[in-house]
Structure 1
Amino acid sequence: MHADVIIEVPFHDVDTMNVVWHGHYLKYFEIARCKLLDQFQYNYNQMRESGYAWPVIESHVRYAHGILFEQKIRVRAILKEWENRLKIEYQIFDAESGKRLTKGYTTQVAVDIETREMCFQSPQILFDRLYAWSAFQANAQ
C-alpha cells in the first residue's frame, strides 16, 4: 500500500543557496503519510477518536541529492509494517525526470491516550481499518 503526493517546493523551505533545509524533508514525509493514512480512514483525527495517539519514535532520512526552490517533487509513502508498530518508508523523486532524490522512514507506536501506556501490539482498530480497505480494493477490481 502506498500513496503519492506532488509538492512544488516553496521559497520558505529553502536556504540561501535555494536548497531545501534538511528539516523540511520530514514535513514532506508527513504530507505523504497523511495521504496514505487517509486511504484506510485512520488518519490522526480517527486515531485520536479511537483512543490512541501514534507518536513518531524514530525517523531516518538519507539525503542523496538536494532539492531546489520551485522544484516539483513526488513523495511516496509506503506502509511496510503494522502488526506492532507503523513503519512507513518514503521516497522522494523529481516529478519530471523520476530521479530518486531522497529516501527514509519513520516508526510510530500506538499509545493509549487514557493510560498513556505504549501498546506492544497495534490496536485492533488499525487491523479493522486495513482489512476494510483491502476488502474494498479487492471488490473494486
Structure 2
Amino acid sequence: MEVSYQRKVNFYETDAQGVVHHSNYPRYFEEARGFFLENIGFPYHRIREELNIDIVLIELSVKYKHPLFFGDIFNIETKFNVENRYFFYFEYQVVKNSEIVSTGRTRHCCIDRQTRKIVPIPDLLV
C-alpha cells in the first residue's frame, strides 16, 4: 500500500541559501509515516492506547538528489513493508513536480509500553 502526503516548505526549514536543511527530511518522513497510519485507520495514539505498544525507530537512511526551496510544494510517497515477524520498514520518495528529490527508509519494531520488550507486529499493521 502507498499513501501520498502533501506539504509545503516553511521558511524556518531552510538555510541561508534558501535550501531545505538536510535535518528536516527525517521530520518529513515522520509526518508522512503518521499520515500513513492515520489513513489505514490506526493513528499513533490508537496503537498506543488500544494495543499498548510503541513503534520504535531503529534505523534511518536518506538520499538527497535535488534541493527543495522555501515555498515548494511536494509530496511524500510512503510505502509500508514487513521484513519479518518483528521488524518492518517504511520507504519514502519525496517528489516535486514529478521529480524525485529525495528517498529514504526507516526501520521499526514494536515494543510493549510497560515492559519495553520487543513484541510481534500487530496483525492490523501486517
Return the TM-score normalized by structure 2: 0.91
CA-CA distance at 1:43 after TM superposition: 2.0
Within 1, Cα distance between the matches of 2:22 and 2:61?
12
- SS of the equivalent of 1:19 reads coil
Checking the alignment, whether the CA contact within 8 Å between 2:86 and 2:118 is kept in structure 1 is: no
Q: Which structure shows the higher strand fraction?
A: 2
Task: Give 1:90's match in structure 2, choosing from 89, 92, 100.
Answer: 92
What's the % identity of the aligned pairs? Answer: 26
> What does 1:1-141 align with in structure 2 at a 5 Å threshold?
1-49=1-49, 50-81=51-82, 83-94=85-96, 97-119=97-119, 121-122=120-121, 126-127=122-123, 129-130=124-125
Where does the alignment leave 5 or more consecutive residues of structure 2 unmatched? none
CA RMSD of aligned residues (A): 1.4
Distance 1:37 1:6, change over 3 A: same
User: Separation in 2 of the partners of 1:66 and 1:7?
Assistant: 15
- Distance in structure 2 (CA, Å) of the matches to 1:61 and 1:45: 26
Q: Deviations over 1:14-33 (max 9, x none)?
A: 00000111111111111111
Q: How many residues align?
A: 124
TM score, norm. by length of structure 1: 0.82
Residue by residue over 1:77-99, the C-alpha shift from the partner in whole angstroms, topping out at 9 and shown as x without a partner, is: 111226422300000010xx201
Please tell me the residue identity of whatever aligns with 1:103: T
Distance in 2 separating the partners of 1:86 and 1:99: 27
Structure 1 unaligned runs (5+)?
Answer: 132-141
More helix by share: 1
